[in-house]
Copies of this chain bind each other. A is one copy, B any other.
Amino acid sequence: MGGTGDEGYGLALRWATAGYQVIIGSRSIDRAHSAAQLITKTAGPNSKVSGMLNDQAAAAAEIVVVTVPFAALIETLKTVKASLTPGKILVNVTVPLETAIGGKPTRTVGLWGGSAGEMASNIVPKGISVVTAFNNVSAEPLSDLAKKVECDVLICGDDRDAKKIVMELVTAIPGARGVDAGPLENSRTVEQITALLVGMNIRYGVHSAGFRVTGIPLA
């Protein structure tokens, strides 16, 4: 969902390049197809990428990754809800930036449930594991296959198995390292870090501020 935006495009491109079967979901079937074609062109003829409407994409996928702008998050989740059958994993990448209400990308809005990840978890059916991940990875290095992603991916969720599967999606992106950042409630902090990094991008005149966790045993 949101695969036609910059972040979704970048993630889809990386996973398609790594050999994953990728379905781009969109509200517009034309835009889904265009994005799928563009990714196929870049990732190569052996990549397995298709485009579908959001609800069809969610029905066909095992792991549903949401990268829509925050203002569209609730609507998108409601659209795909019926397609999310038990056992599927929903990865929420969307961050509640203040831009959703006409504010700044360096701030977030406060959510009743604490975070977009927890909000998503309250909307999707029981039996769906919601995992927070990839929120802090800039679209720019993702979209350029010549670049390594110089950023760790903080993974939050309450289902260990789901987190392990998402960890594999991280490993498929050269340079990215997954870090277990605890329960889903920690999405509160992880999502806010995105706004902090946007501020650093602005202050330091760059496009891909990220971070590496230090002092913990990681591959």
Interface size on A, residues (CB 8 A): 38
The stretch from A30-38, A54-62, A202-210 touching chain B is A202-210
Is A211's CB under 8 angstroms from B209's CB? no
In the complex, whether A45 has a CB less than 8 A from a CB of chain B is: no
Whether A193 contacts B204 by the Cβ 8 Å rule is no
1/0 contact string of A155-175 vs chain B (CB within 8 Å): 000000000000000000000
On whether the beta carbons of B200 and A210 are closer than 8 Å, the reply is no
Once the chains bind, are B204 and A209 in contact (CB under 8 Å)? no
**Minimum Cβ distance to chain B for residue A138 (Å):** 7
Number of this chain's copies in the complex: 2
- The CB with the most chain B CB atoms within 10 A, among A138, A151, A186, is that of A186
Task: Give the chain B neighbours of A200 by CB distance below 8 A.
Answer: 179-182, 213, 216
Which residues in B have their C-beta under 8 angstroms from that of A195? 189
Contact status B196-A182, CB under 8 Å:
yes
Say whether A188 contacts B182, CB under 8 Å.
no
Bound-state CA distance A189–B189 (Å) is 6
State whether B213 touches A213 (Cβ < 8 A): no
Task: Flag if A212 contacts B211 (CB, 8 Å).
Answer: yes
Knowing A182-B196, A192-B188, the reply to whether A212 touches B209 (Cβ < 8 A) is no
Cross-chain contact A215 with B151 (CB below 8 angstroms): yes
Query: B214–A150 contact, CB under 8 A?
Result: yes
Residues of B within 8 A of A154 (CB): 196
Q: Can you pick out 25 interface pairs between chain A and chain B where the beta carbons lie within 8 Å of each other?
A: A106-B182, A106-B186, A107-B185, A141-B215, A150-B214, A151-B215, A154-B196, A180-B200, A180-B203, A182-B196, A182-B200, A182-B203, A188-B192, A189-B189, A190-B196, A192-B192, A200-B213, A201-B216, A204-B216, A209-B213, A209-B216, A210-B213, A210-B214, A210-B215, A212-B214
